[in-house]
Each structure stands twice: as structure tokens, then as C-alpha cells.
């Protein structure tokens, strides 16, 4: 008889930034038409980076979005799956509520299920630069 030894293989113990560095903010003013050029066989491999606004999620289940400042926010989230080699917009809603794009207003925090998508991209017009305010942050977790 074997003894079960628990481990955390394949799990994140806390939400992690996709750049592997805490306090890195997200960038990107992507829209679905722009993202179609980033597919397998296209320019995907050379453009998977935070500087291009494409973030690898490593099959995580939840995305934690947070904005700081009155000029921050997200107006859309886009998902990529290797299985389909395509991008699509993430829509949220529930029974009795209309489905629509993911929207994050100033000074908000939302936890959104991304269903194990391989990559995400964002549509945001938040300010760039070193200031902590007016930034958007994303972290990913399995719990």
C-alpha cells in the first residue's frame, strides 16, 4: 500500500504575473483584427511578449484584473488557443444577464475565468511610464 504525498505540481500557490515579475503592468491596445496576424505560421512566435501586449497564461484557470487610477481600465480581453490557432474575444455574462466584452473600470478588481486559454491580450488605453497610478495589472492562478 502506498502513502499519498500531496504536492502542488501544475498549480500556482498564489496569483502570478505572466511576466514572472510582481508589479509589472499590462500594456496593449489590441483589437481582434490586429491579433489575427499573430497565429502559428504567422508572426506569433516572435511577438509573444509583454511589449507587444500578448501574455502567456500557461493553462491557468483564472485571471485577476486590477486597475489603479482614474485613467486606467480595460475595454476588452482576447484569448488564444493553440488547438484552434485563433484568437477570440472573451465575453462574460450569466443566466438572465446579457453577454458582453470584459470591461474593467478605474480602480476596479475582477476575477475572470479564462478556461485554460494559452495566451491573452488586452485592449487598454491606460498611461505608460513608471508611475504606479493609471496602470492595469493581470495575474493568473489555478484556484
pLDDT at 2: 63
Is the whole model's pTM more than 0.95, yes or no? Answer: no
Q: Where in the sequence is the domain holding 48, given as residue range(s)?
A: 32-141
Question: Is 56 domain-assigned?
Answer: yes
pLDDT at 77: 92
pLDDT(60) > 70: yes
Question: Is 20 domain-assigned?
Answer: no
8 Å CB contact between 112 and 63? yes
Rg (CA), the chain: 16
Mean pLDDT of the chain: 80
Handedness of CA 109, 110, 116, 120 (dihedral sign): negative
Question: Is 25 domain-assigned?
Answer: no
Question: Is 134 domain-assigned?
Answer: yes
pLDDT(92) > 80: yes
Structural domains in the chain (count): 1
Question: Is 8 domain-assigned?
Answer: no
Question: Is 116 domain-assigned?
Answer: yes
Query: pLDDT for 98-142, tens place per residue?
Result: 788 888 888 899 999 998 999 999 888 765 655 667 888 899 988
Amino acid at each position: 500500500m502506498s502513502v499519498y504525498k500531496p504536492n502542488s505540481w501544475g498549480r500556482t500557490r498564489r496569483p502570478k504575473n505572466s511576466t514572472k515579475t510582481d508589479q509589472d503592468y499590462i500594456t496593449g491596445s489590441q483589437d481582434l483584427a490586429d491579433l489575427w496576424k499573430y497565429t502559428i505560421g504567422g508572426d506569433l512566435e516572435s511577438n509573444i511578449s509583454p511589449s507587444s501586449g500578448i501574455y502567456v497564461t500557461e493553462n491557468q484557470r483564472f485571471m485577476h484584473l486590477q486597475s489603479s487610477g482614474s485613467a486606467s481600465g480595460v475595454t476588452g480581453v482576447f484569448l488564444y488557443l493553440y488547438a484552434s490557432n485563433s484568437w477570440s474575444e472573451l465575453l462574460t455574462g450569466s443566466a438572465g444577464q446579457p453577454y458582453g466584452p470584459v470591461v474593467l473600470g478605474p480602480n476596479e478588481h475582477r476575477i475572470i475565468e479564462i478556461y485554460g486559454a494559452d495566451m491573452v491580450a488586452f485592449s487598454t488605453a491606460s498611461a505608460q511610464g513608471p508611475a504606479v497610478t493609471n496602470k492595469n495589472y493581470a495575474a493568473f492562478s489555478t484556484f
